[in-house]
Amino acid sequence: MKTGIKNMKKEVRGQLITYGLVIGVFIIVQVMLSLGMISNLMQGLLVPLCTYSIVAVALNLCVGYLGELSLGHAGFMCVGAFSSAFFTKCTMTTGLNENVRFFLALLVGTLTAALFGYLIGIPVLRLRGDYLAIVTLAFGEIIKNVINVLYIGRDSAGFHFGMKDETSLGLGEDGEVLVNGAKGIMRTPHQSTFTIGVILLLISLFVCFQLVNSRSGRAIMAIRDNRIAAESVGIPITKYKLLAFTISAAIAGIGGVLYAHNLSTLTAQPANFGYNMSIMILVFVVLGGMGSFRGSVIAAVLLTMLPEILRGLADYRMLIYAIVLIAMMLFNWSPKLIEFRKKFIADVFKKKEKEAA
């Protein structure tokens, strides 16, 4: 058993360490929660932390493994959030079991986001580099803005759609507005919990890890490393690009579902689904290290918590935030520091072995 973990393939070990880390943090937080050691403010942050981690993992699949820069992931998150919240809102009165309903909402959100990823991917993935980034940015904004003018109501006659305002829906007396334009979807149930968030994060990590360590994953990385060579060995470029992009969008959709069911009113604001969000997620991915899912999760958690932890420092908050950003950048990308880090980890492992022996 002692040599078991050493003999495992490197990628499997990395995978297990990541799962262990997530589960470990989860247990610690649960213990702290039961001891009442976590402030209300921090408790409110637990689900968003999972959301951002999931979306960061999704974007890392797209940026780090497929090698295509997408700035539209907040858009996919938005699609997942609204489609699932809409589903929940529609089925609230049907007396469906709450957990079953949440599970179905999760499927709806994920599949809708995947569909959007697929449809947007077809034209967009013909572009590369900066152009792709700009077009995905635009698509993200379009999704957000369309949702802001979308009105959907329901009465005994069925569903009514509109793009103008509430009254133009022409609802009957028993009618109910489900999606109310810029006011969003109101009074949705509060179903996301920290436990569900962590489970969804683990599922997302599992899917991503298994994908990149399989035949399809190798093909995706081959396209990233050298497109011409990948073509020359018979890898269908378009198919695998679309596959990775769609899966990435679907996982961002999972993040959206979690996000939507953590709020009582879901609106598409620039702050939550705008490009700032896309760029923030990109910051998580870049700082955590492109091609490292574990890094994405760690960066998402640290950088989301940091402003809250530093709240007491008032004016210096953003200054320290900036310094931490720079420090993380150096820690992850400076060759000297990477060397130091590796050596440090190797030393620690050696020590442990000696103690064990």
Partner 1 sequence: MALLEVSNLSISFGGLRAVDNFSLNIEKNQLYGLIGPNGAGKTTVFNMLTGVYRPDEGIIRLDGQDLVGKKTIEINQAGIARTFQNIRLFGQQTVMDNVKIGLHNQYEYSTLTGILRLPKYHSMEKAMNEKAIDLLKVFELEDKADYLASNLPYGQQRKLEIARALATNPKLLLLDEPAAGMNPNETQELMDTIRFVRDNFDMTILLIEHDMRLVAGICEDLTVLNFGQVLAQGDTKTVLKNPEVIKAYLGE
The C-alpha atoms of residue 109 and residue 159 are separated, in whole angstroms, by 19
Nearer to partner 1, 15 or 136 (CB): 15
Q: How far is the CB of 247 from partner 1 (least distance, A)?
A: 8
Nearer to partner 1, 127 or 207 (CB): 207
Nearer to partner 1, 218 or 317 (CB): 218
Nearest Cα to 159, choosing from 232, 87, 244, 213? 87
Q: How far is the CB of 182 from partner 1 (least distance, A)?
A: 39
Q: How far is the CB of 10 from partner 1 (least distance, A)?
A: 8
Nearer to partner 1, 47 or 211 (CB): 211
Helix (H) or strand (E) holding 266: strand 265-266
The C-alpha atoms of residue 292 and residue 178 are separated, in whole angstroms, by 40
Q: How far is the CB of 93 from partner 1 (least distance, A)?
A: 36
The C-alpha atoms of residue 174 and residue 153 are separated, in whole angstroms, by 11
The C-alpha torsion from 60 through 65 and 70 to 71, rounded to 10°, is 20
CB 22 within 8 A of CB 198: yes
Q: How far is the CB of 201 from partner 1 (least distance, A)?
A: 16
Nearer to partner 1, 270 or 291 (CB): 291
Burial 254-267 (b: 16+ CB within 10 A, else e): bbbbbbbbbbeebb
Q: How far is the CB of 202 from partner 1 (least distance, A)?
A: 14
What is the pairing mode between strands 151-155 and 176-180?
A: antiparallel
Q: How far is the CB of 77 from partner 1 (least distance, A)?
A: 22
Helix (H, G, I), strand (E, B) or coil at 7: helix
CB 85 within 8 A of CB 266: yes
Nearer to partner 1, 106 or 219 (CB): 219
Nearest Cα to 104, choosing from 117, 118, 120, 92? 92
Q: How far is the CB of 213 from partner 1 (least distance, A)?
A: 8
Nearer to partner 1, 248 or 278 (CB): 248
Q: Where are the beta strands (DSSP E) in the chain?
A: 151-155, 158-162, 176-180, 185-186, 265-266
Nearer to partner 1, 24 or 236 (CB): 236
Residues in the chain: 357
Which residues pair with residue 158 across a beta bridge? 155
**DSSP at 65:** I
The rounded Cα 357 to chain-centroid distance in angstroms is 42
Contacts with partner 1 by CB under 8 A lie at 207, 210-211, 214-219, 221-222, 224-226, 228-237, 243, 291
Nearer to partner 1, 65 or 87 (CB): 65
Q: How far is the CB of 16 from partner 1 (least distance, A)?
A: 14
CB 40 within 8 A of CB 240: no
Which residue type occupies 15?
Answer: Q
